[in-house]
Amino acid sequence: MQVGILTIGNELISGRTQDTNTSHIARELNIQGWQVPILMSVDDDEAAIKTALDHILAQTDAVIVTGGLGPTTDDKTTEAIARAYGLKLYRDETILSKIKAIFDRYGLYWAPSNSKQADFPEGAEPIANPVGTAWGFSLNVKGKLIAVLPGVPAEMKRMLSQGALPTLRRTFPEAAQAVASRTIKLSGISEAEVDQRLADADLEGQGVSVGFYPHFPELRLVLTVRKPTEEEARSLLKIAEAQVVERLERHIFAYDLETLEGTVAALLSERKLTLSVAESCTGGLITDRLTDISGSSIFLERGAVTYSNLAKTELLGVPEETLRVHGAVSEPTARLMAEGVRKLGHTDLGLSTTGIAGPTGGSREKPVGTVYIALADGRETVCRKYLFRWERRRVKVATSQAALTLLKRYLISIPGQT
Amino acid sequence: MQVGILTIGNELISGRTQDTNTSHIARELNIQGWQVPILMSVDDDEAAIKTALDHILAQTDAVIVTGGLGPTTDDKTTEAIARAYGLKLYRDETILSKIKAIFDRYGLYWAPSNSKQADFPEGAEPIANPVGTAWGFSLNVKGKLIAVLPGVPAEMKRMLSQGALPTLRRTFPEAAQAVASRTIKLSGISEAEVDQRLADADLEGQGVSVGFYPHFPELRLVLTVRKPTEEEARSLLKIAEAQVVERLERHIFAYDLETLEGTVAALLSERKLTLSVAESCTGGLITDRLTDISGSSIFLERGAVTYSNLAKTELLGVPEETLRVHGAVSEPTARLMAEGVRKLGHTDLGLSTTGIAGPTGGSREKPVGTVYIALADGRETVCRKYLFRWERRRVKVATSQAALTLLKRYLISIPGQT
């Protein structure tokens, strides 16, 4: 089944307000297994509303409309819909008295214009508003369903799940499907490369829809499956996920709502390992990300943002000679920073970053984007060199991602302590 | 002039991604003085894209399209538009080699499918992408303009202001009024309070449109003036800005593209002062923000993320007794942290934060959101207590904002050195 969404309001087309209703409704409709071919927003204007409804219903079985149900003159949705389909308005006295009761209870001033919130097009089925005075309604027009809800997100959300969705399922019983979906988060690989590596699996051919969502520095891959039953949907999704993991495992760092910092935090806690971080080019971004995780104080002992050479020498014990001979951005410096911060913090692990974030400071042998990341565990120290493109902020973000990924791979490679 | 917006992508109609491009573009178009009668989103589907374009262009003079310009098979925008208007695709070899050069320079994997990012419909004028490989284009069709941009917000925003808007102004000169606009960035004040303090100035009455855009932790106030000539627009804007500054000066921290960290960095450099930062609850966020500014190494000596009590004692010299008696989250600890990090870094200034970011760790006398921020300059140490509501990340962000604001006010209060 196809369902469109129409949001109405001047605050939307002016860009004054970020429309969050549309994505919420679209998500809820997709979960039902219904297709959402079109989303539209227009002004509180009768002609615009009619044109929009005609265009959407020409492509869909139903439309969910939000906004323009208030008591003021610029709220025209109900009249516009009635006129668009040549229907008279009727006033529901029971609902009117319920709305009046709310005004009395809270001692609100009753403006005559409030009465129009109890007006509905002939044949409409009112949808109760459990949290406000703007009732919605559903209306059958030539075999298509129009469900109208207020624009206030808190009211819309409850009336969608309690009123509009049940009405849609009742009106189109044959169209209720089960949906299963999985988000796979990747980094260190391009969209094109993922696309190519998955080509032979032909997931679409198996009835699995695959979406790519770049979310710098991540790439999110979303697998969605629709089947008549939960079981069928879940089992096909499982098979598809296994095929993706088989081809991209090394680049996967989290699933669904998990984050890279969350995964690293969980691994550190689980393995009872403590960490200190020495950051030069990332300037504190790595510890900032790790401390976004509640409970990070269990494993994060301290961080040192050693932006100056003096700080690298004094705090981390990097010899002046190393800095002079190899430079602050070099493998020897990165290694000594990781080992130095590990000692400084008396921790199991030491992680370090040093690089040229740009836009200045680059040279022919060390261009902007040159980064060294090192990890020391007391037995050995690994160091990796990276060359990132992009501007300063993105170099910092990509470096923090690479550092946390290096740490995560290390943590997975060692046996958990018990 | 009427301009529509069409955003394309499965992630939008599925509700998996919150579309922020539409509201940004709508805002920018309104600033130009143009009407935006319709906003639409459809799937990456040729037929859907054609139907949407026809519907929008029937009501508008131009349309801005975003999304579907990637290298993967689910990116169909360019082909769809070419076919919709019966145009062949041509490959721009110059652009192709520029895209290839980026891949070579950074040793990225080149998939053959990447070539299609250099394909454009006959007659299209490419729009350069300064930050990515997805070029956009503008196309004249029967006197209407179609401007196509990538869906990645950072890329779309730059290409809108540098490519699409100038093209629209060139194509429809009669609709191009002189527009002057100023963004005033505030913090530590509510939208309602700003509204109230500006009421007596009656800016709208003077022909100045005022937009409020909450951008946690900032509140952005955008003043826009439209006049026949640049001069008229600029002079009216100047008068309006002066009225705002007069009423809100204390809360203004930056204008237009300036940031709080940028303002602080400029003041520190100008006054030739050096800084060290000791962060507990902000976990490195303050130094992360300061190091986003190129040249921050001039004033930022080092940062210490002293997450553990041991780190506060060892690195900053906070006596164990202070931590035991007053606690890690207390005014005495904050003061000693600021003084300690100042000594540690041999700098003019020492800034510190300590607080309870939550969701755990709160108590009756020190609830979640309790934060102390201190600033030491060797002569005196100031300390402020804050109580923030909101969840963990927002407490961290609000704390970094308050700390940088405290630092900025200090820097403004002292005379610049010469």
Assign residue A233 the CATH number of its domain. Answer: 3.30.70.2860
Cis bond leading into A217, ω under 30°? yes
Q: Is residue B305 within 8 Å of residue A344, measured between CB atoms?
A: no
Domain count, chain A: 3
What does the pLDDT look like over B110-153, one tens digit per residue? 988 899 999 999 999 999 998 888 999 999 999 999 999 999 99
**End residue of a domain, out of A255, A285, A313:** A255
Tell me whether residues A305 and B287 touch, CB distance under 8 A. yes
Say which of A37, A43, A307 has its CB closest to residue B297.
A307
Q: Based on C-alpha coordinates, what's the Rg of chain A?
A: 29
pLDDT at A418 over 70: no
Q: Are B206 and B232 members of one domain?
A: yes
Residue B418 lies in a domain: no
pLDDT at B201 over 80: yes
Average pLDDT over residues B237-258: 95
Q: Are A377 and A394 members of one domain?
A: yes
Residue A219 lies in a domain: yes
Best CA proximity match to B179, nearest among B222, B220, B228, B212 = B228
Q: Are B311 and B217 members of one domain?
A: no
**Which pLDDT belongs to residue B416?**
64
For residue B121, the 8-state DSSP code is E
What does each C-alpha distance from B388 to A215, A313, B393, B394 come to in angstroms? 29, 37, 11, 9
Task: For residue A373, report the phi and psi dihedrals to the nearest 5 degrees.
Answer: -125, 130
Tell me whether residues B16 and A222 touch, CB distance under 8 A. yes
- d(C-alpha A412, C-alpha B14), whole Å: 34
3-class secondary structure, A283: coil
What does the pLDDT look like over A177-200, one tens digit per residue? 778 889 999 998 988 899 999 999
Say which of A17, A195, A288 has its CB closest to residue B284.
A288
Chain B residue numbers touching A396 (CB-CB < 8 A)? 288, 291-292
Q: Are B62 and B168 members of one domain?
A: yes
Q: Is residue B253 within 8 Å of residue B184, measured between CB atoms?
A: no
**Which pLDDT belongs to residue A390?**
85
- d(C-alpha B351, C-alpha B377), whole Å: 9
pLDDT at A174 over 70: yes
Q: Are B196 and B282 members of one domain?
A: no
Dihedral through CA B413, CA B415, CA B417, CA B418, nearest 10?
Answer: 140
Tell me whether residues B72 and A212 touch, CB distance under 8 A. yes
Average pLDDT in chain A: 93
Best CA proximity match to A213, nearest among A194, A199, A196 = A194
User: Which of A88-92, B101-105, B263-267 is least confident?
Assistant: B101-105
Residue A312 lies in a domain: yes
Average pLDDT over residues B184-198: 87
Residue A418 lies in a domain: no
Best CA proximity match to A297, nearest among B322, B311, B370 = B311
Q: Is residue A135 within 8 Å of residue A128, measured between CB atoms?
A: yes
pLDDT at A383 over 60: yes
Q: Are B35 and B163 members of one domain?
A: yes
E strand or H helix at B167, and its extent? helix B165-171
Average pLDDT in chain B: 93
3-class secondary structure, A17: coil
Chain B residue numbers touching A211 (CB-CB < 8 A)? 10-11, 14, 16, 74
Note the pTM of the prediction, 2 decimals. Answer: 0.79
Task: Give me the DSSP letters along B235-282.
Answer: HHHHHHHHHHHHHHGGGEEEETT--HHHHHHHHHHHTT--EEEEESTT
Average pLDDT over residues B39-54: 96
Q: Are B171 and B182 members of one domain?
A: no
- d(C-alpha A196, C-alpha B63), whole Å: 33
User: Which of A267-271, A371-375, B48-52, B188-192 is least confident?
Assistant: B188-192
**Which pLDDT belongs to residue B33?**
84
- d(C-alpha A325, C-alpha A333), whole Å: 10
Say which of A15, A42, A287 has its CB closest to residue B27.
A15
The backbone region for A130, taken as left when phi is positive above 0, alpha when psi lies in -120 to 50, beta otherwise, is: alpha
Average pLDDT over residues A189-217: 89
**Which pLDDT belongs to residue B347?**
98
Residue A162 lies in a domain: yes
Chain B residue numbers touching A404 (CB-CB < 8 A)? none
A252-255 and A178-186 beta bridge pairing: antiparallel
- Looking at the DSSP bridge assignments, the partners of residue B183 are B222
- d(C-alpha B74, C-alpha B289), whole Å: 36
- d(C-alpha A349, C-alpha A341), whole Å: 9
Best CA proximity match to B66, nearest among B113, B122, B4 = B4
Q: Is residue B130 within 8 Å of residue B163, measured between CB atoms?
A: no
Residue ranges making up the domain that contains A170: 3-175
Residue with the bigger pLDDT between A107 and B346: it is: B346
Residues 6+ apart with CB under 8 A from B280: B305, B306, B307, B312, B328, B329, B337, B352, B353, B354, B355
pLDDT tier, A132 (very low <50, low <70, confident <90, very high otherwise): confident
What does the pLDDT look like over B260-315, one tens digit per residue? 999 999 999 999 999 999 999 999 999 999 999 999 999 999 999 999 999 999 99
Q: Are A408 and A287 members of one domain?
A: yes
- Looking at the DSSP bridge assignments, the partners of residue B213 are B220
Q: Is residue B177 within 8 Å of residue B226, measured between CB atoms?
A: yes
- d(C-alpha A241, C-alpha A33), whole Å: 19
Q: Is residue A348 within 8 Å of residue A273, measured between CB atoms?
A: yes
**Which pLDDT belongs to residue A230?**
86
Please count the other Cβ atoms lying within 10 Å of the Cβ belonging to residue A11.
16
Residue whose token pair is 């606690």: B327
CATH classification at residue A84: 3.40.980.10
Task: Give me the DSSP letters along A306-339.
Answer: --SHHHHHHHH---HHHHHHH-SSSHHHHHHHHH
Chain B residue numbers touching A183 (CB-CB < 8 A)? 16
Residue A393 lies in a domain: yes
Say which of A27, A42, A307 has its CB closest to residue B301.
A307
CATH classification at residue A373: 3.90.950.20
Catalogue the E-assigned strands of B150-201: 178-186
Chain B residue numbers touching A359 (CB-CB < 8 A)? 294
pLDDT at A94 over 50: yes
pLDDT tier, B210 (very low <50, low <70, confident <90, very high otherwise): confident
The identity of residue B328, as a single letter, is A
Average pLDDT over residues A62-69: 96
- The percent of residues above 90 in pLDDT, for chain A, comes to 79
pLDDT tier, A30 (very low <50, low <70, confident <90, very high otherwise): confident
Q: Is residue B375 within 8 Å of residue B408, measured between CB atoms?
A: no
- d(C-alpha A69, C-alpha A74), whole Å: 9
pLDDT at B418 over 50: no
E strand or H helix at A105, and its extent? helix A93-105
Q: Quick one: closest CA in A to B27, which residue? A: A15
- d(C-alpha B183, C-alpha B223), whole Å: 6
Q: Are A159 and A184 members of one domain?
A: no
The backbone region for B396, taken as left when phi is positive above 0, alpha when psi lies in -120 to 50, beta otherwise, is: alpha
**End residue of a domain, out of B222, B237, B255:** B255
Residue A153 lies in a domain: yes
Q: Are A191 and A105 members of one domain?
A: no
**Sign, Cα dihedral of B5, B7, B8, B14:** negative
Residue B392 lies in a domain: yes
Q: Are B191 and B66 members of one domain?
A: no
What interface predicted TM-score (ipTM) does this complex get?
0.80
**End residue of a domain, out of A255, A287, A322:** A255
Tell me whether residues A195 and B102 touch, CB distance under 8 A. no
The backbone region for A393, taken as left when phi is positive above 0, alpha when psi lies in -120 to 50, beta otherwise, is: alpha
pLDDT at A417 over 70: no
**Which pLDDT belongs to residue B73?**
82
Q: Are A366 and A239 members of one domain?
A: no
Chain B residue numbers touching A262 (CB-CB < 8 A)? none
Average pLDDT over residues A22-34: 89
- d(C-alpha B94, C-alpha B403), whole Å: 49
- Looking at the DSSP bridge assignments, the partners of residue B126 are B137
Best CA proximity match to A98, nearest among A137, A132, A147 = A132
